[in-house]
Structure 1
Amino acid sequence: MNRDIDTGRVIEEVRLRKCLWDASDIFYKNKDARLKAWNDIVIALFEDVQENEKNDL
């Protein structure tokens, strides 16, 4: 599987999730919140991925 990642889109998705970059955010030090944020970003970026391709990500 060879997919090009749109860097601008990644930046947009990260900006939407302050817990990943804003040290004053109450969830910044919350590992579970950060993990969920990254999972949400993956879902947003690869929403068109077929079920059989998900293990390749």
Structure 2
Amino acid sequence: MIEYFVDFAIIAALIIGITALNGVITHNIGYRLFGGGKRDLHVEQTKKTQAGWKLVGGRK
């Protein structure tokens, strides 16, 4: 009976792990294929928004 629960736990972990990885992998593939020129859209917009801001805190 213990073997059944061990097998069940292994299969459950594999199914959950494969499902999670499948989502991450397909998201990255879709982002690379269909993202086009919009990959850096948020980064560029943030740079435009922060242009001219004074740097505060920290040391350079």
> Scaled by the length of structure 2, what TM-score is found?
0.30
More helix by share: 2
Query: Max radius of gyration: which structure?
Result: 2
Higher relative contact order (CA 8 A, sep 6+): 1
> Scaled by the length of structure 1, what TM-score is found?
0.31
